[in-house]
Amino acid sequence: MAVYEVFLKPEGKDGYRHAGAIDAADDELALVLAREAYARRAEGARLWVVDRRHIVEGDAEFVGPNADKPHRHHDGAAVAARRKIQREAAGPDEPAP
Amino acid sequence: MSRSWDTMDSFEAFLDAGGIVEVDDAMPDEYRKAVFAFIEMHANSELMGGLTERDWIPKTPGLRHKMSVLAKTQDEIGHGHLLYMVAADMGIKTRTRMLEDLFAGQSRFHNVFHYQAKTWGDQVAIAFLVDAAALASQQAVFKNCSYGPYRRILKRIIAEEGFHMRLGEDRMMRIAQGTAKQRALFQDALDRWFWPALQLFGPDSKPDDKLLRWHIKSERNEVLRDRWVQKFVPLLHSYSFTVPAPDLSFDDDTGRWDVGPIDWEPLKATLAQGGPDSARRIAEASDNWKRTAWVRDALAAPA
Amino acid sequence: MTETTAPIGMVEYLLAFADDEHLMGQQHTEWIGVAPFLEEDLAFSSIGQDELGHAVQLYELVLELDGTEATDEAIDGLAYRRPAAHYRSSTLAEYVTTDWAEALVRHWLYDTVEELRWQLVVDSAHQPLADVAARARREESFHRRHADALLDPLLRSTDSRSRLLTALDSVGPHLPSLLDAPSGERGAVTIGAASAPLASVGPEVATAIETRFDRAVPEPWTTPATAGRTQRDPGFGALMARMLEVLDFDPDATW
């Protein structure tokens, strides 16, 4: 027996999303059983089952440091500030270029 | 292990700030045990609830009706399945162990499922009253639950309970608008199920309830119970059913119903597996489990 | 009545199919919560719902031939209120079992035949039946796949294999009753509502059993009975009583 993670993909633009897990003796049973455990109301249009042992995980410690890279997120504040300076320099009557 | 906390204070500060705990976090042992016990009891209750309903499914009056009722009970068993999977990942008990503890009478499940559904009226009363109470409890957990895997699975469970609520109300209304015999059947069921359903919420929450402190529950038991009373008493009256509470009163000033003092002895009995139907129900579930052991054994054998 | 040319036998033909689907669905409902493991509870229950759904659709076709609106009450009239002798179900669908091995083998065998049975009517000259068949076939292939997915590992293991073979010996003798022709079948084939009698799938079913269970099939199993599906299993009365308990509690009620 193995634990399988179940992923569902809705019809349309969105990708696969984790739905839950099941216990199954083999891949075929996992697929057949996951269909009724997770998609019996067609919650997804497609279904993946993945033996949990085959998932290679990067945990929060691994990915975490990348949360602190502001230089990769130009948030527009600097641009707005520059535009403001530009407008003020141009004076009230002249439209900004 | 992903994240860890040096002290309970820092863990609680994390929770208070809306932090969500994941399965591989080094959560404090006390938290792990409390969350696990809560999910295990929820899982057991879904399964035992499904078994309560099961007795009546083959007798469902009507072919299309039977399909709907079967789909509903399938959901309840499915909820048990989802919850056992989430609980097993916490590393305290395996799924098999949880089921075997349940069938050995060593685990808890909600008080209402220690009773027998004696008539079709009971089946409808459960769908109408008990499911509403269970849903209210689940919503209050979902709202702010700090344990991520549980919260995510609750989203699906609650969506499905919405279908059940409407099915239950529809069936209750057919009876309410039906024959005198039907109405009497439902009133009789109501007399049996009103109090157990109300007690599903449990006694008043203790001031130091850890489940509240750790953001598993987000509402106190008495608040949820009162909300259910304020909804169901007038609803049942509107269909001309009698609420079986001799001390029921209405406060004109506050506009609120009061059901009077609650006798908690029946609830305590169920907690000790001494409910009216506990022994029979557990024995039956245990017997079913044993009779199909050969299938599980064969599937567990290496291919 | 949409199909004015449909001979009277068409009703019998459809009822035989509908009754089988109804009673198989009914049998499956008994397993919710008590199948060997929770995932299987869910799958088996879905299959039961599908079979009940097929029964509803086939009873609707019967009512349509009769010009009767397919209300819940009209469908239930056909499903529950005919005298036992008027049912056209097979004993395979009628007999009650509390043994999971038998339930699984019956599920496999019934769905093996059912898949072929829908194939006989997928190009039916009776268009409403062809439409129902097109939908049902999509579900049937899943039913078979489900049964096979379980049987594959279970037949590899010695203890479970012997249980399943014992079960096959209990289920197999009901196959002639399933292949038995209801009185309307000949007429249905004549007008092209069905491409062939159900008995014609016998050899294919025998091969399927042999391949699946690696075991010879006794000839009587695939020799169709000739009772015209008029004889009920001894357990039929008790099965009906169970289904009717609530309906009989108050025959005037709507639930």
Kindly state the percentage of chain A with pLDDT values over 90.
74
pLDDT along chain C (255 residues), means of 10: 59 97 97 97 98 98 95 97 97 97 98 97 97 95 97 97 98 98 94 96 97 97 96 96 97 94
B134: its two tokens: 């269970």
- Whole-number Å distance between alpha carbons of B149 and B27: 14
Tell whether B128 lies on the interface with C, counting CB pairs under 8 A.
Answer: no
Tokens 């098999």 — which residue?
B96
pLDDT, tens only, C206-232: 999 999 999 999 999 999 999 999 999
Say yes or no for a CB contact (<8 Å) between B295 and C30: no
pLDDT for res C3: 45
Model confidence band, residue B137 (pLDDT cutoffs 50, 70, 90): very high
pLDDT of residue B288: 95
Report how far Cα C148 is from the mean position of its chain's Cα atoms. Answer: 18
The domain covering C9-249 belongs, at the CATH homologous superfamily level, to Ferritin, core subunit, four-helix bundle (1.20.1260.10)
Distance from CA of B104 to the nearest CA of C (A): 16
Render pLDDT for C75-112 as a digit per residue (tens, 0 to 9): 999 999 999 999 999 999 999 999 999 999 999 999 99
Q: Which residues of A touch C156 (CB under 8 A)?
A: none
Q: Can you give the pLDDT at residue A75?
A: 79
Is the distance from CB of B11 to CB of B31 less than 8 angstroms? yes
Q: What is the mean pLDDT of chain B?
A: 96
- Predicted confidence band of residue A60 (pLDDT cuts 50, 70, 90): confident
Q: A28, A35, A36: which to substitute to probe chain C, counting the most C Cβ within 10 Å?
A: A36
Mean pLDDT of B33-52: 97
> Residues C156-165: contacts with CB within 8 Å, 24+ apart?
C156/B298, C156/B303, C157/B297, C157/B298, C157/B301, C159/B294, C159/B297, C159/B298, C160/B294, C160/B295, C160/B297, C160/B298, C160/C101, C163/B294, C163/C101, C164/C101, C164/C104, C164/C105, C164/C213, C165/C213, C165/C215
HSE at residue C248, side-chain half, CA atoms within 13 A, is 9
Are the C-beta atoms of B43 and B87 separated by less than 8 Å?
Answer: yes
- Tell me the C-alpha distance between C229 and C174, whole Å: 12
Span B138-151, average pLDDT:
96
Residue A7 DSSP SS3: strand
Closest CA relative to residue B31, chosen from B90, B98, B110: B90
Domain B8-260 part of CATH 1.10.10.10:
no
The closest of C248, C253, C255, C249 to C80, measured between CA atoms, is C248
CB contact under 8 A, B3 and A61: yes
A80 φ/ψ angles, rounded to the nearest 5 degrees? -60, -40
Whole-complex ipTM:
0.95
How far from chain centre, in Å, is Cα A89?
A: 43
Give the whole-angstrom CA distance, residue C100 versus residue C5. Answer: 45
Give the one of C40, C59, C160 whose C-beta lies nearest to B294's C-beta: C160
> What is the arithmetic mean of pLDDT over B3-8?
95
pLDDT score of C119: 97
Determine the residue among A1, A5, A28, A57 to mutate to test chain B binding: the one whose Cβ has the most chain B Cβ atoms within 10 Å: A1
Chain B: closest CA distance from residue C191 (Å): 30
If you count DSSP H runs as helices and E runs as strands, how many of each does chain A have, helices first?
Answer: 3, 3
Q: Is A23 near chain B, with CB under 8 Å?
A: yes
Contact B20, B146 (CB under 8 A): yes
φ, ψ of residue A51 to 5 degrees: the values are: -55, 125
Q: What was the pLDDT predicted at B36? A: 98
Instruction: Say which range, A39-43, A72-76, B255-259, has the weakest mean pLDDT.
Output: A72-76
Q: In the B/C pair of chains, how many CB contacts fall below 8 A? A: 141
> How many interchain CB pairs under 8 A, A with B?
33
Per the DSSP assignment, residues forming a β-bridge with B4 are: B26
Both structure tokens of B273: 């597996």
CB-CB under 8 Å, C145 with A33 = no
Q: Which two tokens stand for residue A51?
A: 């033996």
Residue A94, pLDDT score? 59
Domain residue ranges of chain B, discontinuous segments joined by +: 8-260
Closest CA to C106 of C90, C117, C122, C118: C90
Cβ-in-10-Å burial (0-12, 13-18, 19+) of B291 comes to middle
- Alpha-carbon distance of A72 to A70, in angstroms, equals 5
| Nearest chain A CA: its distance from B300 CA (Å) | 5
- Give the gap in angstroms from C-alpha A21 to the nearest C-alpha of chain B: 7
Q: How confident is the model at residue B302 (pLDDT cuts 50, 70, 90)?
A: confident
DSSP codes of every residue in C211-248: HHHTSPPPGGGGS---STT----TTHHHHHHHHHHHHH
Expressed in angstroms, the distance from the first to the final Cα of chain A is: 68
Q: What is the CATH number of domain A2-54?
A: 3.10.20
Question: Tell me, what's the pLDDT at A97?
Answer: 56
pLDDT at A95 over 90: no
Where residue A54 falls among pLDDT bands split at 50, 70, 90? very high
Give pLDDT, residue B273: 86
CB C185 within 8 A of CB C194: yes
Distance between B123 CA and the closest CA of chain C, angstroms: 11
Count of C-beta atoms within a 10 Å radius of residue B205: 17
Cβ burial of B179 (10 Å; 0-12, 13-18, 19+) is: middle
Domain limits, chain A: 2-54, 60-90
Residue B178 in contact with partner chain C when CB distance is under 8 A: yes
Is the CB of C42 less than 8 angstroms away from the CB of B74? yes
Chains touching C, CB cut-off 8 Å, 3+ pairs? A, B
d(CA C78, CA B284): 34
**What is the distance between the terminal CA atoms of chain B, rounded to a whole angstrom?**
32
Question: With the CA atoms of C21, C25, C27 and C32 taken in that order, what torsion angle do they form, in degrees rounded to the nearest 10?
Answer: 170
Whether B299 and A21 lie within 8 Å, measured CB to CB = no
Phi and psi at residue B103, to the nearest 5°: -75, -15
